[in-house]
Amino acid sequence: MRAPAILSFRSASTAVALATAVFAFSPQLPAQPVPAGPKVPDLIQPLVSRNLKVTVDTTGAPECQAWAERAKEMVQVWHPVVSAYLDAPLNPGEKKVHLVFKEMNGVAATSKDVITISAGWVKSHPEDLGMVLHELVHVIQDYPTTQSVWLIEGIADYIRFWMAEPEGQPKRFNRAKENYRNGYRTTGAFLAWIEKQYQTPIIRDANAALRRGTYKDALFEEKTGKNLNALWTEFMDSTEKPAAEPKRPI
Chain residues binding Zn ion by CB under 5 A are: 153, 156
Q: In this complex, which beta carbon is closest to Zn ion, that of residue 153 or of residue 178? A: 153
Q: In this complex, which beta carbon is closest to Zn ion, that of residue 46 or of residue 130? A: 130
| Least spacing, CB of residue 117 vs Zn ion, in Å | 13
Q: In this complex, which beta carbon is closest to Zn ion, that of residue 54 or of residue 156? A: 156
| Least spacing, CB of residue 243 vs Zn ion, in Å | 31
User: CA–CA separation, 211 vs 141, rounded Å?
Assistant: 7
Determine contact, residues 139/113, Cβ cutoff 8 Å: yes
User: CA–CA separation, 21 vs 17, rounded Å?
Assistant: 6
CA angle 28, 29, 35 (to 5 degrees): 95
| Least spacing, CB of residue 191 vs Zn ion, in Å | 15
User: CA–CA separation, 8 vs 219, rounded Å?
Assistant: 34
Picking from 86, 65, 83, 87, the residue whose alpha carbon sits closest to that of residue 75 is 83
| Least spacing, CB of residue 41 vs Zn ion, in Å | 32
Q: In this complex, which beta carbon is closest to Zn ion, that of residue 156 or of residue 210? A: 156
For residue 91, give every residue at least 6 positions away whose Cβ sits within 8 Å of its Cβ, in sequence order, or none.
none
